[in-house]
Structure 1
Amino acid sequence: MLKNIKLGTRFNLILALVFMLGITISGAALSSVLQQRAQAEVTSQALLLIQAMNSVRSYTSNHIKPLLAPQLEPETTFTAETVPAYSATEVFENLRQSEDYKNFFYKEATLNPTNLRDKADDFESKLVERFRSEPNTPEISGFRALPGGQMFYIARPLAVSQKSCLQCHSKPEVAPKSLVETYGAENGFGWQLNEIVATQVISVPADDVLASANRSLSLIMSILIGIFAVVILLINLLLRRSVIWRIRRMAKVAQEVSTGKTSTDFEQDCGDEIGALGIAFNRMKSSLEIAMRLLSQQQDG
């Protein structure tokens, strides 16, 4: 079938194929790069916030808790600010009052929390169970669809690393009375040393970043399509002027020569391959003219 297609059409088909392949490959590569950059951006935001929350936890554990610990027993109301998880959560909630961070979320999702606001949902419970079954996994990240939109999350395991934590979470009998008075004796007990009891989850909105990446992809692809189209148009014009039109003129001259009009010469104005072909055709025409004259002389003689 391709044998019956004209050379110009065949060139156009090849150029169109190159165009589509080039755009497809370029689009796939650019999409991958932009998606990676978008994920790197939201990851850096999440890591910065989780590091800030860890700093709050560390400060609470090392400074606030020892300072207020003597007040826990005589008080009937538990001083929640001595708990690192509570302090980190409250600080983050204050941060969320800012318009720029209202869609960010932080939670120390716990299977059996003292404060029920830290109770892990189904998704978070699966993260905790995975950390328990894969103790060498330091971090899990990915995208999660929430009512507010697509979210990128980073989750890290939280284990009972210090014996001092068991004072509040081993048995109600040994816990501060103020804690039991405030939260009751049903939740937040029975923890074991080195047991993974929770996951620290930071969620960052990803819709805006991903949308920005998609807009960048559309813009770059539009520019590439324009460049490809101009390049292919120029190549097409060059091929027509340098190859196709010259071949057509040679074909026309060959047709005239075949009908006996030998006064027309093949063009040989260029030193390229087509010009060399014109020279060869002119020599062949000259040889044909000589042969025809010799044949005519023999017939006359």
Structure 2
Amino acid sequence: MLKNLKIGTKINLLLMLVFIISIFISGAALSSVLQQRAQLEVTNKALILIKTMNSVRSYTQNHVNPLLADRLETEPAFIAETVPAFSATEVFENFRKNEEYKNFIYKEATLNPTNLRDKADNFETQIVQQFRRDSKLKELSGYLTLPGDKVFYIARPLAITDQKCLRCHSTPEAAPKSQLATYGSENGFGWKLNEIIAAQIISVPSEEVFDNAQQTWSLIMGILIAVFAVILLLINFLIKRTVIQRIRKIEKIAQKVSTGDTEASFDEDSQDEIGGLAAAFNRMKSSLEIAMKLLNQQNQ
């Protein structure tokens, strides 16, 4: 079938094939790069927020708690600001009041919390249990589909590493009176030193980031397709002007010569391959004329 096609058609088909393959490869490579960049962007957001919350926890543990620890026995209500988890959660809730960050979520999901707002749900419980089963596991991450959005989460284990923390979480008898008055004696006890009791989880909306990456991909691919199309048309035009039309001209002259028109000449003054072909045809025509003259002389 290809043998029956003209050179111009064959060249166009070849260029179209190259065009399609180039667009496919470029699109796949670009998509991979943009997806990786989007992933890196949401990961960096989550890591920055985790580091910020850890700074709040550290400040509360090392500066706020020592100042207020003695008052836990005398105050009628528990001073929750002495607890790193409470401070970090409150700071983050303040942060979420900004419209831009309202869908960000921070939680120190605990299996047996003193404050029930930190109670781990089924998914969070599985994460904590996974950290408990594998003590070498330091981080988990992935995607969750929530109503109206897709979020990227990072989770890290939280363990009791300070003996002073057990004052509030070992037994109700050892806990400050203000804690019992505020939270009761049913929850948040029985913790052990170095035991993983919670998971620090930060969730960052990712759908918008990946949508932006998809829009960027569409825009760039549109530009690439337009550029490739212009290049394809330009190459096709140049091939027609520099190759196809000149070959067709030689073909027409060759047909005239083959029918006995010895006046026809292969006029081609270029020094490229087609010019060489025309010169060869002219020599062949001259040789043919000489041979015809000799043949006529012999016949006479």
Report SS of the residue matched to 1:86: helix
Alignment partner of 1:261 is 2:249: no
Deviation at residue 186 of structure 1 after TM alignment: 2.5
SS at match of 1:238: helix
How far 1:45 sits from its partner (Å)?
A: 2.0
Query: What's the secondary structure of 1:185's corresponding residue?
Result: coil
Q: Tell me the residue number matched to 1:79.
A: 79
Moved more, 80-89 or 20-29: 20-29
Segments of 5+ residues of structure 2 without an aligned counterpart are none
Tell me the secondary structure at the aligned position of residue 169 of structure 1.
coil
Letter in 1 for 2:20: M
Give per-residue Cα distances to partners, 1:213-272, cap 9 Å, x unaligned.
222222211111111111010000011111111111111112111111122122322111
Name the amino acid aligned to 1:72.
Answer: L
Could you say which residue in structure 1 is the equivalent of 2:35? 35
Aligned residue pairs, count: 300
Amino acid at match of 2:180: V
2:185 is paired with a residue whose SS is: coil
Structure 1: any 5+ residue segments left out of the alignment? none
Residue 106 of structure 1 aligns to a residue whose secondary structure is strand
Pair 1:152-2:123 in alignment: no
AA in 2 matched with 1:293: K
Secondary structure at the residue paired with 2:107?
strand
Taking only the aligned residue pairs, the percentage that are identical comes to 65
Report the residue type matching 2:45 in the other structure: Q
Shift of the 299–134 alpha-carbon distance from structure 1 to 2, 3 Å rule, reads farther
Structure 1 match to 2:10: 10
- More moved, 161-170 vs 274-283: 161-170
Matched residue SS, 1:38: helix
Match of 2:44 in 1: 44
Q: Offset of 1:210 from its aligned partner?
A: 1.9
Specify the code of the residue in structure 1 equivalent to 2:12.
Answer: N
Deviation string for 1:7-49 (max 9, x for gaps)? 1111111111111111111111222222222222222222222
The one-letter amino acid of 1:129's match is Q
Alpha-carbon separation, structure 1, partners of 2:95 and 2:262:
92
**CA distance in structure 2 between the aligned counterparts of 1:23 and 1:115, rounded to whole angstroms:** 56
What secondary structure, in the 3-state scheme, does the structure 1 residue paired with 2:274 have? helix
Task: Report the counterpart of residue 102 of structure 1 in structure 2.
Answer: 102
Amino acid at match of 1:242: T
Residue 278 of structure 1, CA deviation:
1.0
TM-score (norm 1): 0.94
- Structure 1 outlier segments of 4+, above 3 Å: none
Structure 1 position 163 matched with structure 2 position 163: yes
Listed as ranges, the matches of 1:99-248 within 5 Å are 99-248=99-248
Q: CA deviation at 1:180?
A: 2.6
Q: Separation in 1 of the partners of 2:134 and 2:269?
A: 77
Q: Deviations over 1:166-197 (max 9, x none)?
A: 22222222222322332222222222222222
Between the aligned partners of 2:227 and 2:134, the Cα distance in structure 1 is: 50
Alpha-carbon distance in structure 1 between the residues aligned to 2:36 and 2:68: 46
Deviations 1:96-151, CA, capped at 9 Å, x for gaps: 11222211111111122121111112222222222223332322223221113111
- Matched to 2:264, the amino acid is T
Q: Distance in 2 between matches of 1:132 and 1:284?
A: 91
Report the more deviating stretch, 106-115 or 226-235.
106-115
Change (3 A) 1:133 1:261: farther
Q: Which moved more, 1:220-229 or 1:123-132?
A: 123-132
